[in-house]
Structure 1
Amino acid sequence: MNAQPSDGTRLEAPLPPAGCPVGHTGAATRLYAAESTADPYATYSRLRKQYGPVAPVLLEGDVRAWLVLGYRENRRALDNPGQFSRDSRRWRDWQEGRIEEMSPLIPMLGWRPDCLSQDGEPHQRLRGAVTDSMATVANRGIRRHVVHFAHKQIDAFAHTGRADLVPQYSEHLPMLVLTRLFGLPESDGEQLVASCAQMMRGGEGAVEHNERIMRVLAELTAHKRAEPGPDFATGLIEHPACLDDDEVQNHLRLVLIAAHTTTSNLLARVLQAVLGSSSHLADLVSGQLTVTAIVEEMMWNSPPLAVLPGRFATADCELGGQQVRAGDLLILGLGPGNLDPEIRPRTGTAVRGNQAHLAFSSGPHECPGQAIGQAIIETAVEVLVHRLPGLRPAVDPAELTDTASTWETRLDRLPVTFPV
C-alpha cells in the first residue's frame, strides 16, 4: 500500500475513488493532509461545489472512501443499515488486503465485537446491554459526580485569577466523571485522556494508544468480575445478555472513547460560546438562557465529531449522484451535513428548539449516551460560571485556534481571567 507522504502536504492524489464511475478523471482529496485539516469546513464546501452531496476522498494511507456531505444523504446512510452497514467485514479494501494491520484507520474503522460493528439481532442484543447499564449508572446521580470533579478541577486554579479552560477543565473533567462511572481508579484518567486524543488524531501512535486503552479495560473487566460494584463495567458483566470478556472490554472502549471525545470537545465549544458573548454569559447567569440551548446550537454549528466513521455499502447503488459499489467505505459528514445549504440556505439560520441535527448520528446506531454527555456539560458550565463570578476571556476570540483531524476539530486553548 502507498504510504502517506512524509511532509503530509499534498492535497490531491491521482488515485480514483472507490467505486468511481468509469471515465471519471477527477482526483480525490486527501482528507488528512495539512491543506484539508487547516480549514476543514472550507474543504467540505469546496468538495460540495465540485462533486455535490457525496465526494471522493482519500484517508490516511491513501485509503479510498466517499465523504457524505448532504444532510439527506447522511440520513439515508444512517437510517438504512440494510443498504449501508456498519459491519466493516464488508469493506472491500479490507477483504482484498489493501488495508495494513497497523493502519491508523483500524482503531476507528476495524471490526470489533461491539454493538457499533454489527447490525440486526447481534446489534440489538449488545445495544440493549449498553443502554440498560447506562441507564442504571445515570440513575445513581451522575450530576453529583460532575459537581465533585468540577470543584476539584477549579480548586487547582481558583486562587490564581487565570486559567486555560481547555487543558485545565474541559479536557479532563469528562474523563474523571467517566472513570467514576466505569469503576476505574481516578489515577487512570490522565493516561486515558492522552490515549483517546492520540487515537482521534490518527498517525503512527493511534494503534499503540488503542492497545493501551484495551489493557486498562481488560484489567478493569477482570477486577469487576472478581469484585462487582455499582458501576457501568459491572452492569455489562452482569447483564442478562451474557457478554463475554471480549465483548465487555470492547463496549467499555466504545463508550469511553465516544463519551470522552465528544463531551470534552463539546464542553470546550460551549464554554467558548458562553465566554465569547457578554450577553450569553449575562443571560446564562440570570437564567434567561439555558446551557441546553447553547449545546443545541453547537450541535448544529460545530458538532464534536465532524466526520463519523463509517458505513459500508451492501450492494451497488446510487447516492447523491455517485455510483457507489458494494463494499465501498462511506464516511459521514455530520458537520457539513448540518450546514447543508439545501436545508439551511442562509448562514445563521435559527436552530434553537430544533433537534434534527446529525451530531448524535441517527438510526439504529444513534448515540446511546446523549443524556450522560448533556448532564456532564450542563453541570460543568453551571458550576464554573457560578463558582467564578467575573469570569472573562483573556484573549480576543479571533486569537483562538483549532486543531483538526479527519474526524474532529478541537479548540486548542481558552484562556480566562477572574477576580480572586
Structure 2
Amino acid sequence: MTPVESAPVPLSGPRFHTDPVELYRRIRRDHGAVAPVVLDGDVPAWLVLGYRELHQVTSDPVLFSRDSDLWNQWDAIPADWPLLPMIGRKQPSILYTVGERHRERAGVISAALESVDPFELRRRAERFADELIDAVCGAGSCDIIAEYAMLLPVRVLASIYGFADEQGPALVTAMNDMINGGPGALAGQQHLAESMGALLAAKTEEPGEDVASRMLGNTAGFTVEEVAQDLMVMMAAGHQPTADWIGNSLRLMLTDDRFAASLSGGRHSVGEAMNEVLWEDTPTQNVAGRWASRDTNLGGRHIARGDLVLLGLAAANADPHVRTDAGALTGGNNAHLSFGHGEHRCPFPAQEVAETIARTGIEVLLDRLPDVDLAVPETALTRRPSPWLRGLTALPVTYTPTPALGGTA
C-alpha cells in the first residue's frame, strides 16, 4: 500500500480510550504502515503501525537508536513539556543506554530476575493477593482496579527487590501518585528515590537473597546510582502494565461467555484470557521512542535523521497482514509484540515475573470470590485517557460476602 499525503494524526484525544482498534485501522487505511503523528504541543513524530515495519525498527538498534540526543526537535521542546518524563534527555537509566553498555546492563537485570525462585515468587504473590482480598471480601462489592489491581504488583515487586513488607503500602502510594500525576507526583517520585537509595545502602552493608543485592553484586562495574535508576525503571515498568493486565483480563473474563467456566472456579482459561488481552487489549499500546541515526526509508516513508519513531505495539498486533483468525489467539500464539522486540524489549525474566504476578492475582481473586460479577453494564466501563497505556479507570464488581482468611500479612 502506498502511503497517501494527509494531515498528521494527533496522538491524543478520546479515540485512544474509546475504540483504539478502529482508530488504528483508520490510520493504517489513510496513511499506511507508518503514519505521521503529532504529540502534545504539535511535536512531530512517526507512528509505526505495521507488524513487519515494527519488527524492522526494533531489530536495528543502530539505525533506530534509543539515544534521545539524536532528536532533531530538542530546540522546539519547552522545559515544561508534559512528555519529558517519558522522552527525556540524558536519562541515566537502562532505557536510554545504547550499544554494549546497554547489553551489559540488560544482562545484569536479567540475571538478577532469573535468580528469583518462581515458587517463592508465586507464594509471595498469593500472600499479598490474599491480604488485599481480606480487606474487601466482607463488603460484597469493590473496585478491582483501585482496591486490588493497582495495589498488588508493587507489593510483590518491592518484596523481591528486598524491601521490608511494612514499606510496601507507602511504595504503592508513591508509585500510584507518580502514575496519576497531579500534586502528589513529585512527592511520590521523591519517596521512591529515597527509599531505593536507603535500600541499596542497606544491601551494600548486608546483602540478602533479593534482586537489589544481586544487582549490586554484579561484576560489570555499574554504580549504585545506575542500579537505583534501573530498579526504579523496573518497578515502574513492572507495576502499571501488570496492573492493567490484571484489570483488562478480568474485564474480558467478566464480559465474555467463553470464560464463564473460569469464573466458576476453573483456572484453565485464565492463561487464555491473559494471552488474548496481549493481542487485543494490550496494556502497553504505544512506546516512545526510537530516533533515526541517518536518513532512511520505512514503510514507504522518508524518515529524516533525528526523527522520533514511536512503536505502535497495539496497532502492529492487529496488523491484518500477519493476523489469522482471532479465535486462534487463545491457543497459545505468543507472537504478539506487547513486550516489544529486539535488544530493548522487556527482558524475558521480567515478562515471567509480570505473568506470574498477574496470573496469580487473577486466580486468587477467582478462588476467593467465585461468584464475582460486574456491577455495571459493560458499556459503562471507561478507560484511562492515554494513547500510551491502556487500562480501566474502574472495574466495579459484586460478590457474596465471605470472611477474611486472616494471618496473611
Is the pair's TM-score, using the shorter chain for normalization, greater than 0.5?
yes
Are the equivalent residues in 1 in contact too, given 2:64–2:292 (CA < 8 A)? yes
Question: Of 313, 316, 319, which aligns to 2:292?
Answer: 313
Deviation at 1:36, TM superposition (A): 5.1
Output the CA distance in 2 between the equivalents of 1:219 and 1:63. Answer: 38
Structure 1 residues 148 and 114 mapped into 2: Cα distance closer, same or farther (>3 Å)? Answer: same
Q: Match of 1:352?
A: 331
Are the equivalent residues in 2 in contact too, given 1:107–1:206 (CA < 8 A)? no
5+ unaligned residues in a row in structure 1: which ranges? 1-20
Question: Which segment drifts farther, 85-94 or 261-270?
Answer: 85-94
Are the equivalent residues in 1 in contact too, given 2:296–2:303 (CA < 8 A)? yes
5+ unaligned residues in a row in structure 2: which ranges? 402-409
Question: Of 331, 336, 342, which aligns to 2:321?
Answer: 342
Are the equivalent residues in 2 in contact too, given 1:103–1:207 (CA < 8 A)? no
Question: Which segment drifts farther, 234-243 or 318-327?
Answer: 234-243
Output the CA distance in 2 between the equivalents of 1:67 and 1:310. Answer: 10
Deviation at 1:85, TM superposition (A): 1.0
Question: Of 88, 92, 96, which aligns to 2:68?
Answer: 88
Deviation at 1:289, TM superposition (A): 2.6
- Structural mapping, 1:27-46, within 5 Å: 27-34=7-14, 38-46=18-26
Deviation at 1:210, TM superposition (A): 4.7
Amino acid at match of 2:122: R
Q: Match of 1:332?
A: 311
Output the CA distance in 1 between the equivalents of 2:190 and 2:6. Answer: 38
Deviation at 1:383, TM superposition (A): 0.9
Q: Match of 1:323?
A: 302
Question: Which segment drifts farther, 288-297 or 373-382?
Answer: 288-297
Output the CA distance in 1 between the equivalents of 2:185 and 2:291. Answer: 22
Question: Which segment drifts farther, 253-262 or 174-183?
Answer: 174-183
Deviation at 1:387, TM superposition (A): 1.2
Counting aligned pairs with the same residue, the percent is 35
Are the equivalent residues in 2 in contact too, given 1:171–1:193 (CA < 8 A)? no
Which deviations, in whole Å up to 9, do the C-alpha atoms of 1:205-247 show, x marking residues without a partner? 8777655543442333333323433222222111112320221
Q: Match of 1:51?
A: 31
- Structural mapping, 1:111-122, within 5 Å: 111-122=90-101
Q: Match of 2:81?
A: 103
Output the CA distance in 2 between the equivalents of 1:52 and 1:204. Answer: 40
Deviation at 1:79, TM superposition (A): 1.4
Output the CA distance in 2 between the equivalents of 1:204 and 1:350. Answer: 41
Deviation at 1:332, TM superposition (A): 0.5
- Structural mapping, 1:258-407, within 5 Å: 258-283=237-262, 285=264, 287=266, 289-344=268-323, 350-368=329-347, 369-407=350-388
Structure 1 residues 92 and 44 mapped into 2: Cα distance closer, same or farther (>3 Å)? Answer: same
Residue 198 of structure 1 pairs with residue 180 of structure 2? yes
Taking structure 1 as the reference length, what is the TM-score of the superposition?
0.86
Amino acid at match of 1:72: R
Output the CA distance in 1 between the equivalents of 2:246 and 2:304. Answer: 38
Which deviations, in whole Å up to 9, do the C-alpha atoms of 1:55-81 show, x marking residues without a partner? 111112322110111111111111111
Question: Which segment drifts farther, 364-373 or 240-249?
Answer: 240-249
- Structural mapping, 1:79-228, within 5 Å: 79-94=59-74, 97-110=75-88, 111-139=90-118, 141-184=120-163, 185-198=167-180, 210=189, 213-228=192-207
Which deviations, in whole Å up to 9, do the C-alpha atoms of 1:374-405 show, x marking residues without a partner? 10111111111111222222222222111231
Are the equivalent residues in 2 in contact too, given 1:306–1:334 (CA < 8 A)? yes
Output the CA distance in 2 between the equivalents of 1:35 and 1:393. Answer: 24
Deviation at 1:327, TM superposition (A): 0.9
Q: Match of 2:215?
A: 236
Structure 1 residues 211 and 374 mapped into 2: Cα distance closer, same or farther (>3 Å)? Answer: same
Q: Match of 1:257?
A: 236
Which deviations, in whole Å up to 9, do the C-alpha atoms of 1:140-159 show, x marking residues without a partner? 71111111110100001111
Amino acid at match of 1:104: P
Are the equivalent residues in 1 in contact too, given 2:5–2:31 (CA < 8 A)? no
Are the equivalent residues in 2 in contact too, given 1:90–1:327 (CA < 8 A)? yes
Amino acid at match of 1:46: R
Deviation at 1:340, TM superposition (A): 1.1
Are the equivalent residues in 1 in contact too, given 2:178–2:186 (CA < 8 A)? no
Output the CA distance in 2 between the equivalents of 1:384 and 1:154. Answer: 7
Output the CA distance in 1 between the equivalents of 2:157 and 2:116. Answer: 10
Output the CA distance in 1 between the equivalents of 2:275 and 2:19. Answer: 23
Q: Match of 2:407?
A: none
Residue aligned with 1:299, SS: helix
Question: Of 41, 56, 79, which aligns to 1:76?
Answer: 56
> Whose relative contact order is higher, 1 or 2, with alpha carbons under 8 Å and at least 6 apart?
2
Which deviations, in whole Å up to 9, do the C-alpha atoms of 1:267-303 show, x marking residues without a partner? 1011111222344131465647332221111110011
Deviation at 1:104, TM superposition (A): 2.4
Output the CA distance in 1 between the equivalents of 2:336 and 2:398. Answer: 33
Question: Which segment drifts farther, 31-40 or 302-311?
Answer: 31-40
Amino acid at match of 2:388: W
Output the CA distance in 1 between the equivalents of 2:383 and 2:168. Answer: 28
| Aligned-residue RMSD, C-alpha | 2.5
Q: Match of 1:247?
A: 226
